[in-house]
Amino acid sequence: MKNEYRIPVIDMKATGQRIAQLRKERNLSVRDLQEIFGFTSPQAIYKWQWGESLPEIENLLLLAEIFETSVESILVTDGRDAFSVDRVNRIPE
**Can you give the CATH number for the domain in which 11 is found?**
1.10.260.40
Residue 78 confidence (pLDDT):
80
> Is the residue at 93 inside a domain?
no
Q: Which domain holds residue 68?
A: 2-87
Count of domains forming the chain: 1
Task: Tell me how far apart the alpha carbons of residues 45 and 31 are, in angstroms, rounded to a whole number.
Answer: 9
> Is the residue at 40 inside a domain?
yes
Task: Tell me how far apart the alpha carbons of residues 18 and 1 are, in angstroms, rounded to a whole number.
Answer: 39
Residue 89 confidence (pLDDT):
45
| pLDDT tens over the chain, length 93 residues | 567 777 778 999 999 999 999 999 999 999 999 999 999 999 999 999 999 999 999 999 999 999 999 999 999 988 554 444 444 444 445
Residue 8 confidence (pLDDT):
79
Residue 84 confidence (pLDDT):
44
> Are the beta carbons of 12 and 52 closer than 8 angstroms?
yes
Query: How far is Cα of residue 23 from the mean position of the Cα atoms in its chain?
Result: 14
> Is the residue at 36 inside a domain?
yes
> Is the residue at 92 inside a domain?
no
> Is the residue at 55 inside a domain?
yes
